A and B are shown apart, each in its own frame.
Chain A
Amino acid sequence: MKWYKYWQVSKITMVNSLVYFWNFLSRNVFFAFIMFVYMMLWRTIYAQKGTATIGGLTFKAMIWYLVVTELVTLSRTDLHNQVNNDVKSGNVAYLLNKPYNYVIYCFSYFVGEIGITLLSNSIIGLAIGFIFAGALEGFNIMHLPFIILSLLAGCTINFFIYLCLALTSFWVEENSAFFWIYSKLIFTIGGMLMPIELFPKWLQSLSQYMPFAYVTYVPARLAVDFSFMTFWSQFSIQLLYLGAFFVLAMFLYRKGVRNLNVNGG
């Protein structure tokens, strides 16, 4: 019964998400557009280089890699904006008088929303991949469940990092810069723009120790170059990061609520 309430939160969010169906669809149009731009860019880079692979990836693999990184990024929910505004405006006070854990409530909300966004984006992503690049050579369908697991872990780490940044608004008046910096870190050392193998050695090793690569790079790399050894080592690090950011979100929330400064109705 205790966990059933959180499942119900996910369910109602899923129903609520369908109200924004056209909004999701418009994001998908953007997905197709950005992939088209990437395809033109990388086609030129591959032609200029005159090699079959860059960073160990063929042109086809590169397009599929970018499809997956975009999939993670575009499937992000906007819940952090809501949490951020709720904390700043004091609205969070009205969400606290119910018998649930707020962080898990937010997570359930995310699960409900990501279900719809990820599904609709995956359909579009697969269509884009097949149209722009064609089937990936040597892809084994048996690896798909493991790739999906890593993709979900990436999306969830992304959610908890955004939630932690949103919860800083308990202390910081203006925290929009944090979101901007984080999204740019994902864009660069998270491997969203290009695989981190293309970076200088020192940056590659640095990004291995940062959480950003585990949001986008790891699931995308597994999708185009899967091995069980890489999966188990990288997925376990993803789980570690997920646990760490969940604990951090709980800590920030508990500490923040004690600091809550909501004067007036």
Chain B
Amino acid sequence: MSIIKVGNLCKTFKVKTKDEGLKGSLRSIFSPSFRDIQAVNNISFEVEKGEILAFIGPNGAGKSTTIKMMTGILQPSSGTIQVLGLDPTKQRKELSYKIGTVFGQKSQLWFHLPPLDSFNLLGSIYEIDKVKLKKRIDFLKEVFEIEELMDVPVRKLSLGQRIRCEIAASILHEPEIIFLDEPTIGLDVVVKQNIRELILRLNREEKTTIFLTSHDAGDIEQLCKRAIIINHGEVVLNESIKKLKHDYLNKKVISIKYNEPVNVEKGDLNILKHKADSLKVQVDTSKQDIEEVLEKLIKLGKVDDIVISDPPLEEIISFIYRQSKEGGIDEMV
């Protein structure tokens, strides 16, 4: 059952422009000029109940604008949105009781006060019964392991501790959908993992639908079953993670630092960079055996250091976008 339905959604912003120099400044005082920016351009998609969906794209792709329209913060220029059967534009308040939001870079906790004060305030704002609120806070304290943080002013918390409290705060009212906008931004690997486990638990135990935006390929790989990729305000891919992984995340990058300069014969190697004693090679694991490639590379000389990495998500997205512009995406996926 679809609980989010977005149809032909568009959002245009009017941005003031100014010509360069003094003349341009004077002209803009008496005759200001504006340019339309198409932040979201005719996107349509649906989200099923209980799904964890990755909504990804580079900066300025239109992700946050879409989330803001889905939560009723921004008015669409055209198109339709239905979230839990409600129209966010007209029923923002009603909808806010049923959804939760975490914007990684913005806080809903009071900076100088302990999280418990903010939790109690949010409980009142969402009109949660006092006994029920206490039970809910106790439950979240245990699940998010924030018991010992509850009486520490938010300004004294580490980023990881704050994000745990932020997510707990956003689900106090047991929302049916939670919008997570880059929840792991700036966190170290251990804390990131911890947050991912919490999100999975939330989805599994409370059946909460998760709408996630992230620049972190790890978040998407570990959490989501489906990804919608958006760029320049358009949906460029709406596919299962399994298929996305098969088609794009099978490319590994091997970076080797040798003890001395080496000579490489290209052969079947996809060399990205070669500089005397360092070499960067891309391996398509669906076509090549990574062990064989590694063996070949190690034989080239004495190895000082070796790193195997996934291509950055941004690279995959821009690759997908380039393909879609050239009209080749259908053939690729």
Contacts and interface: CB of A to CB of B under 8 A. Distances in A.
Interface of A: 1-2, 4-5, 8-9, 12, 15-16, 19, 91, 93-94, 96-100, 173, 258, 260-265
A17 B330 CA distance: 59
A163 to B, nearest CB: 20
Contacts of A5: 124-125, 127
A99 B97 contact: yes
Given A12-B110, A12-B121, A96 B92 contact: yes
B106 A94 contact: yes
A169 to B, nearest CB: 14
B181 A260 contact: no
Given A5-B125, A93-B68, A260 B60 contact: no
B64 interface: yes
B117 interface: yes
Interface string B62-103: 011100100111110000000000000000110011010101
A262 B68 contact: yes
11 contacts: A1-B127, A5-B125, A9-B121, A12-B118, A19-B112, A93-B74, A97-B96, A99-B97, A261-B13, A263-B13, A265-B64
A119 B332 CA distance: 70
Interface in B35-70: 37, 39, 59-60, 63-65, 68
Contact of B73 (A12, A93, A173): A93
A12 B117 contact: yes
B62 to A, nearest CB: 9
Given A1-B127, A15-B117, A19-B112, A261 B14 contact: yes
A5 B120 CA distance: 10
A261 B63 CA distance: 15
Contacts of A173: 16
Given A15-B117, A264-B64, A265-B182, A98 B13 contact: no
B72 A98 contact: no
Contacts of B117: 12, 15
Nearest to A13: B110
Contacts of B323: none
Contacts of A93: 68, 73-74
> Which interface class (under 10, 10 to 19, 20 to 34, 35 or more) fits B?
35 or more
A9 B118 CA distance: 10
A99 B103 contact: no
B303 interface: no
B83 to A, nearest CB: 12
A19 B153 CA distance: 11
Given A16-B113, A91-B106, A96-B73, A263 B37 contact: yes
Nearest to B88: A97
B73 A262 contact: yes
Contacts of A260: 73-75
Contacts of B106: 91, 94
A263 B126 contact: no
A99 B73 contact: no
B105 interface: yes
Given A100-B125, A263-B39, 17 more contacts: A5-B125, A8-B121, A9-B125, A15-B117, A93-B74, A94-B103, A98-B96, A99-B96, A99-B127, A173-B16, A258-B75, A260-B74, A261-B13, A263-B15, A264-B59, A265-B64, A265-B181
